[in-house]
Amino acid sequence: MSGPAIVLMWEARATEGRGGELLEWARARSAELPGEPARRELLRAPQDRVLVMTWWPDASYGDELPELPEPDADLITRAVHRWRFEAVE
């Protein structure tokens, strides 16, 4: 990454026992994003939570950037949480 980057964070909690399915759903959707982020990470946590982080170089905080959609309602226990951060050196 040469200049500043915007990091998008997407976090969802799967219905009980479906964390693996949500992780695979998020992996597939992140691979389908228009454009290619400089970096992409998928993480999981207890309670079947999945986190996806994507780094978009040379972007500004207010830029329109590709984001993961909401999964089907039966796969998650609540609405997806989304955060946007500006990377600092």
Residue 77 carries which DSSP code?
Answer: S
Written as one string, the DSSP assignment of 13-54 is EBSTT-HHHHHHHHHHHHHTSSS--SEEEEEEETTTEEEEEE
**Is residue 2 over pLDDT 60?**
no
pTM surpassing 0.75?
Answer: yes
In the predicted structure, residue 78 carries a pLDDT above the cut 90: yes
Span 12-41, pLDDT tens digits: 999 999 999 999 999 999 999 998 999 999
pLDDT at 1: 43
Structural contact between residues 10 and 67, judged by C-beta atoms closer than 8 angstroms: yes
d(CA 77, CA 6): 27
Give the residue-averaged pLDDT of 57-80: 95
The answer to whether the CB of 82 falls within 8 A of the CB of 67 is: yes
